Chain A
Amino acid sequence: MLPTELCCVMGYLSFITTKSKQFQAIRRSPLSILITTKSATDLEKPRSNSIAMAMAIKLSLLLLVFSCSLIPTFSLFEDQVGFMDWHQRYIGKVKDAVFHTQKAGRKRVVVSTEENVIASLDLRRGEIFWRHVLGANDVVDKIDIALGKYVITLSSEGSILRAWNLPDGQMVWESSLSGSKSSKAFLTIPANLKLDLDSPIFVYGGTCLYAISSIDGEILWKKDFIPEGIDVHQLILSEGSNVIHATGVSDSSEFNTYEIDVKNGAVLNHAKTSFPRGIFGEILQISSDKSVALDSSQSTLVLISIINKQIHLQETHVSNLIHGVSSNTIILPSKLSGIFSLSTDTFIAFIKLTDEGKLHVMEKFDKKVVVSDALPLSENEQAFALVEHGDSNIHLSVRLVHDMSSNHLKETVKMDHERGFVEKIFINNYVRTDRSHGFRALIVMEDHSLLLLQQGEIVWSRDDGLASIIDVTTSELPVEKIGVSVAKVEDSLFEWLKGHMLKLKGTLMLATPDEITAIQKIRLQSSQKSKMTRDHNGFRRLLIVLTKSGKLFALHSGDGHIVWSTLLQSLRQSPQCPNPTALKLHPWQIPHHHALDHNPSVLVVGRCGLSLSSPSTLTIIDAYTGNAVRNVGPTHSTVQVLSLPFSDSEEQQLHLLIDDEKRAHLYPRSREAVEIFEKESQNVYWYSVEADVGILKGYGVKNRCDGDEFCFEARNLWSVVFPSESEKIISTVTRKGNEVVHTQAKVIADEDVMYKYISKNILFVATVSPKASGPIGSTTPDESVLVVHLVDTVTGRILHRMTHLGSQGPVHAVLSENWVVYHYFNLRAHRYEMSVIEIYDQSRAENKDVLKLIVGKHNLTTPVSSYSRPEVSTKSQSYFFTHSVKAISVTSTAKGITSKHLLIGTIGDQVLALDKRFVDPRRSLNPTQAEKEEGLLPLTDTLPIIPQSYVTHAFKVEGLRGIETIPAKLESTTLVFTYGVDLFFTRLAPSRTYDSLTEDFNYALLLLTIVALVVAIFVTWVLSERKDLQEKWR
């Protein structure tokens, strides 16, 4: 309630300026207020002026009543949502899409994505109607729509089939199809097949074929292919017939076809032909009785035709068909009847199957052509779309399958080259008013964005690359240019006052609904928030995020809009870099005041390939424009990136990139950097964690490599080997490099001091017994042991080791200052637990003696060094915690003075802020009076979950993966960016905003109070004068 008082004080003692420090002083001593008020009333002569006094006080009372109606912000009110936070919902890279465009009702498209999301999108605007994020092990294989009202998803390699209600996304039924062997999974939903009022869905998964009722998910029949040892490649259900054709390959390389009765799953016919060479990839059906496949050498096309229930194979060499063919031939899985497309390294060819059974190449395109599936227009007509790339545009053409030569429709769409190439296309048609067919195309781009094209225009686009963020860093915005016109100020002053008057009305609950919406609008629109310049408090920043697609986005922290985005050329597929993956993002250049002519820049490290030894690429990107400043690579491999605490004269941060042969490569590659580094090289240490073999290793710099002055050999300084039969590393956590600690001393009750052991080189390592490394439920408490270690990474010294019997992972931990908090599962209690370890420096504990301090016999000035091997002592405590955890982080502030909150990403994709005081190992059941005064909480066995302290309030950050905290310039405040499939950003003040007024602060009320007080003083003065006169006359 203290801030309430504050407000009241504000109202009453209106002459107090808005400087925060003064507030604090006043808040500390509420008595002083009384004294002040009394002295204010003593101003007049007590007897003669009592009426005047009373009047003045009455007036100020009224003002107090006004001002006290301001309730302080501890947590969030519902109308403050979106005021300092933003939430963006994404779905990820679309891998499959099904349109639902009936004449009546809303037009939508149902998609499944690589982030394992199924979603229903509004086809008009691209908004999400509903969305579900499936479990990580439950990958969606296929989606489709059944009965026109259910979305059917097949997931977990064809073992789970679910139906979702199309309008609202409610799950209708779920069936588990337990196959015995993993296999391909596919789903066929016949359009017009009816079996006893039921329309079955045919699912192949786990080498079994199922017919499933689409109404309730009951399994109607099941046909197992395991006894025959056959892996089915395709299911064909011809229109109007009651027979399913299943074509498959057996283990012994035989082609098999089955005819199966749709009613009961009985095999009507089975034919097989031997094909000893085996096939590569999939069999593709091209007409009702013909399919095509590639042999295992990828050089021969096999045409499979079923004539009179017998299989006939016809082989054609690819090189005979297409001259000058290169390697890596694959059949593209586009469903076009009578035509299939063949992709090689250099081009894509469309091959038509003529009526005589001959293969005929129709057209050849260069590689960058993307083809959609065929879309039936009428009974005999099918269309498909084809996208080609131009310079800054793409050419979309729709062709009819039976008339390949001419384009049914050709459109050119301007395309931002930062979106890259088209990766997938899905088409849908609509009937125009003149009864001709119109087409809309949904395209997935290289940067994972999703666009809808219609009539040569981009109708909407979604930047779904942001659903797969790999790394985050921040950058300051440019400094504001000085020079503001007076007219603008006057205009805004009026607006400002008006806004505040409205707010005042709102706080007094006098506002009409219209005015409330206006207030909300003013709050959200505050132009200050999304300005492109640096602000005094450091709230406005650029969040630079690296996504899986290799695209870098800069988001404005005010409202989350994309300032710029760039598709990194170094992370695009090229002959030099076949499988690029983005790895890391580091701030590269952080200019301070004397070097402001440089823009800040960031370093992006990528890798060309999947193995650790593959070469890496480095790109330096200007943080204001998104332009690539420099490109290095592909060059040596990169396993680790170390950001050194040194910078050169251009304020470029020195970085060490460690390759897989433990050589350290210095960047920037300049003489100056080498000089700086060589001076400090004796103090550069790093470590590696080899989790699979259970070894920690520490390294230092040895000497230069031969022939490369920017490369240094490493020497192994120490190793910690965990016995593989009893300990397996499951988690390692270290302190954030940029963390600031305010003080080493911690004053505890009884005026005592404890010295925190603060070292940047502490590594937290959690190991479990090998049997406990599986999921919960796979082991018994007796077999599982969790051991946590605190290791000094310079010397390899184990500072502390603690064993939790009967506990197992997963372990999520956060290390900050001198403490580590970790979350694990206690099998005995069968609950999650959180433990804290605090580590204190005992060698400094002797300094309490005042005499010693005076004589100078203290060691407070000795620097903290890993080599000094100080005596450390630890304190530890454990608590139960209700939820599973996905990530833990801690708030960080500019100077490290503000108290800390743990930010816990729970299994429900929410972020809970938990005061560090709850995880203080000095908590006891009955704290003494002194400890209570210190702020120590009584010990409880469970950590509290207070709903109001959810940072994400009523939002969910679906698929939460990471929580990043960024200190603002204002000491009390920290910025929190949470990412997963969704993004969420907010501002937190762990000890409330003690150093500034809240943005809700009503300046108009303050002004009004001052004015009213001045008026009151004048009125009382006049009254007192009159009274005086009357007294004198008497």
Chain B
Amino acid sequence: MAVQRRSKLNSCSLLLLLVQVCFLSLSCSSSVAIATGNGGGYTINGRVKIPGLIAKGFGLPVKANNAKVILNGGQQVTFLKPDGYFSFHNVPSGTHLIEVDAIGYLFSPVRVDVSARNPGKVQAALTETRRGLNELVFEPLREEQYYEVREPFNIMSIVKSPMGLMIGFMVVVVFLMPKLVENMDPEEIRKAQEEMRNQGVPSIANLMPRGN
């Protein structure tokens, strides 16, 4: 099963980047294209891969159904195809920034250089880690857990907590102190008790009504 999964991933990792698209077909004359400024441009193709979930064979997970790919902070927004591919059309040459927005995952933005001189050449890098990319494949840096996890009731966690340690200390005092007291000189104990009485420490026992 694991082997199958891996092969699937490999076969999926196709690369296709920055293909200059022949928008300037014969019929759409280029003079007009310049006038409106949208005739020329490049296409950026890429892919978003969410590991673990995609391999199950259901295409994108439900969570990633609403994933968006954003060019230059909102200049263009596109969505993912079932296999995770996306493309931006009519992108002018220059250095661009692509962000992936999928709830539950943190993606690093990627800088993509679209060069007019040598079309087809890929230059992409994760801006967070400055790692270069050979192919435009987005993988989440991490899964984001928006909620604190409620830890199950566990004795050890209490024992380990500062309060637990304090309690432990108290337990030691309560159960070991009498032992220490036993080893002490009875005279000294009496003395100490007398001192205590003289101090007149308010005691709950004193406040209680005496039964007899």
Q: Does B132 make an interface contact (CB < 8 A)? A: no
Taking a contact as CB atoms under 8 Å apart, the answer to whether B39 and A180 are in contact is yes
Contacts A33-B166, A884-B109 known; list 15 others, CB within 8 Å.
A4-B162, A54-B175, A68-B163, A77-B148, A171-B82, A172-B82, A176-B89, A182-B36, A182-B38, A509-B153, A777-B97, A831-B127, A908-B103, A954-B103, A1021-B208
Verify B174–A174 contact, CB threshold 8 A: no
Contact between chains at B163 and A174 (CB < 8 Å): no
Complex contact A776–B32 (CB within 8 A): no
Residues 15-41 of chain B: 1 if any A CB is under 8 Å from the residue's CB, otherwise 0?
Answer: 000000101010111001101101101
B2 interface hit (Cβ, 8 Å) = no
The 6 closest A-B pairs by CB, nearest first: A135-B77, A176-B89, A224-B27, A947-B144, A908-B101, A884-B73
* With known contacts A57-B171, A1017-B204, A174–B150 Cβ distance under 8 A: no
Q: How many residues on B have C-beta within 8 angstroms of the other chain's C-beta atoms?
A: 89
Which residues of chain B are within 8 angstroms of A882 by Cβ–Cβ distance? 106, 108-109, 127-128
What is the chain B residue whose CB lies nearest that of A52?
B205
Residue of A1, A226, A953 touching B161 (CB-CB under 8 A) = A1
Chain B residues engaging chain A, CB cutoff 8 angstroms: 21, 23, 25, 27-29, 32-33, 35-36, 38-39, 41, 43, 59-60, 62, 65-66, 68, 70, 72-82, 87, 89-92, 94-97, 99, 101-104, 106, 108-109, 111, 114, 127-128, 144-153, 155, 158, 161-164, 166-167, 170-171, 174-175, 177-178, 181, 189, 192-193, 196, 201-205, 208, 211
Contacts A34-B166, A65-B158, A178-B90; is A137 near B75 (CB within 8 Å)? yes
CA distance A159 to B145 in the complex (A): 38
Residue contact A43 to B39, C-beta cutoff 8 Å: no
Of all chain A residues, the one with the shortest Cβ separation from B36 is: A181
Please list 12 pairs of residues, one from A and one from B, whose beta carbons are closer than 8 Å in the complex, sorted by A's number: A46-B177, A61-B171, A65-B158, A68-B161, A78-B147, A222-B27, A775-B75, A825-B73, A950-B144, A956-B66, A956-B103, A1024-B205
Report chain B residues within 8 Å CB of A909.
101
Best-buried of B43, B59, B68, B90 by chain A (most CB within 10 Å): B68
In the complex, what distance in Å separates the CA atom of A508 from the CA atom of B158? 13
Q: Mark interface residues in A160-182 (1 if CB within 8 Å of B CB, else 0).
A: 10100000111111101011111
Q: Contact residue range for chain A?
A: 35 or more
Cβ of A993 to closest chain B Cβ, rounded Å: 16
- Contact yes or no, A54 B203, CB < 8 A: no
Q: Closest CB-CB distance, B184 to chain A, in whole Å?
A: 10
Residues of A within 8 A of B170 (CB): 37, 57, 61
A134 touching B89 by the CB < 8 A rule?
no
Q: Give every chain A residue within 8 A of B104 (Cβ-Cβ).
A: 954
Q: Contacts A30-B162, A132-B79: A830 and B203 contacting too (C-beta < 8 A)?
A: no
Contacts of A945 in B (CB 8 A): 106
Contacts of B161 in A (CB 8 A): 1, 4, 68
B77 & A138 in contact (Cβ 8 Å cutoff): yes
Bound-complex Cα distance A180 to B28 (A): 6
Q: Is the CB of B153 within 8 A of A508?
A: yes
State whether A76 touches B147 (Cβ < 8 A): yes
Closest chain-B Cβ to A708's Cβ sits at a distance in Å of 45
Chain B, Cβ-Cβ closest to A45: B193
A569 within 8 A of B: no
Question: 1/0 per position for A801-835, CB-CB distance to B under 8 A?
Answer: 00000000010000000000000010101111000
Decide yes or no: A75 and B73 within 8 Å by CB, A68-B163, A777-B96 being known contacts: no
Q: Of A176, A953, A956, which is within 8 A of B147 by CB?
A: A953
Task: State whether the Cβ of A362 lies closer than 8 Å to any Cβ in chain B.
Answer: no
**CA gap between A453 and B174 in the complex, in Å:** 76
**Which of B35, B43, B62, B163 has the most chain A CB atoms closer than 10 A to its own CB?**
B163
Closest to A169 in B: B65
Given A47-B181, A776-B96, CB of A170 within 8 Å of CB of B193: no
Contact residue among B65, B108, B163, B177 (Cβ-Cβ distance under 8 Å from A8):
B163
Per the bound structure, the CA–CA distance linking A138 and B77 in Å amounts to 8
Query: Cβ of A264: which chain B residues have Cβ within 8 Å of it?
Result: none
| A271 CB contacts on chain B under 8 angstroms | none
A76, B148: Cβ atoms closer than 8 Å = yes
* Cβ-defined contact, B79 with A174, below 8 A: yes
Residue A50 lies at the interface, judged by CB distance under 8 Å to chain B: yes
Contact between chains at B158 and A68 (CB < 8 Å) = yes
The CA-CA distance from A53 to B170 in the complex, in Å, is 11
CB within 8 Å for A1021 and B128 given contacts A54-B174, A68-B158, A77-B147: no
Q: Which residues of B are found within 8 Å of A953, using beta-carbon distances?
A: 146-147
A948 in contact with B32 given A137-B75, A176-B90, A830-B127 (CB within 8 Å): no
